[in-house]
Chain A
Amino acid sequence: RKEVEQDPGPFNVPEGATVAFNCTYSNSASQSFFWYRQDCRKEPKLLMSVYSSGNEDGRFTAQLNRASQYISLLIRDSKLSDSATYLCVENTNAGKSTFGDGTTLTVKP
């Protein structure tokens, strides 16, 4: 079993739709969590941090559930420009990072 698991998708949604991704992690000692966005043949770019209390950045909402060891990302009012691969990552206190393999989103007109 991989340390960080994501549904690879693809998720194909129409513009304006709401879509949610989950990511599960196995290391109960993980300290911090993030979502990254990666466009085709580009480097990952930080999208947002994930906090236990939940956090929102515009159309994006991230949530952490430590008891069930998963994090989620919700995208509301999807735009064509949201089409990308979304990577979740967990960091240990020692600084090591483990990425999931990503979930591919395609937003269609």
Chain B
Amino acid sequence: DTGVSQDPRHKITKRGQNVTFRCDPISEHNRLYWYRQTLGQGPEFLTYFQNEAQLEKSRLLSDRFSAERPKGSFSTLEIQRTEQGDSAMYLCASSLVSSGGEQFFGPGTRLTVL
């Protein structure tokens, strides 16, 4: 399968715990995006990378959220001290800079914070 993959697909955690999600983009794609989506809402932009550089981070994102893309390939999103309000679907997408912004999404990681 050459699409975007995400791991894990589901995560249940207790409030206050740290969680880390992984995204593997389409191999030749140089841009990688993280979004959060809750029921009835569209994907909410969190951050994006071009190669290994993190170019923008949403102002809505608290300091508990951090993302990395150390070698310009896969990326991780970590949430520290999780809160119930963090419960959502976390989506990753990738694209080619030259494609004009067409993004391809992974299946998402569904996070439930108890």
Listed in ascending order, the chain A residues whose CB lies under 8 Å from chain B are: 4, 8, 31-32, 34, 42-46, 49, 87, 89, 91, 94-102
Contact = CB atoms under 8 A, between A and B. Distances in A.
Interface of B: 31, 33, 35, 40-45, 48, 50, 55-56, 91, 97, 100-108
A95 B103 contact: no
A22 to B, nearest CB: 15
A101 B103 contact: no
A97 B45 contact: yes
Contact of B50 (A42, A95, A102): A95
Nearest to A42: B107
A46 B55 contact: no
Given A34-B102, A46-B103, A95 B48 contact: yes
A32 B105 contact: no
Nearest to A93: B101
Contacts of B100: 32, 49, 91
Contacts of B91: 43-44
A46 B106 CA distance: 12
Given A43-B106, A44-B91, A46-B102, 14 more contacts: A31-B101, A42-B107, A44-B43, A44-B105, A46-B103, A46-B104, A87-B42, A95-B31, A96-B45, A97-B48, A99-B42, A101-B40, A101-B42, A102-B42
Nearest to B42: A99
A37 to B, nearest CB: 11
Contacts of A31: 101
A49 B55 contact: no
B42 A94 contact: no
Nearest to A101: B42
The 10 closest A-B pairs by CB, nearest first: A99-B42, A91-B101, A43-B105, A101-B42, A32-B101, A99-B43, A32-B100, A101-B41, A44-B105, A100-B42
Nearest to B91: A43
B33 A97 contact: yes
A45 B101 contact: no
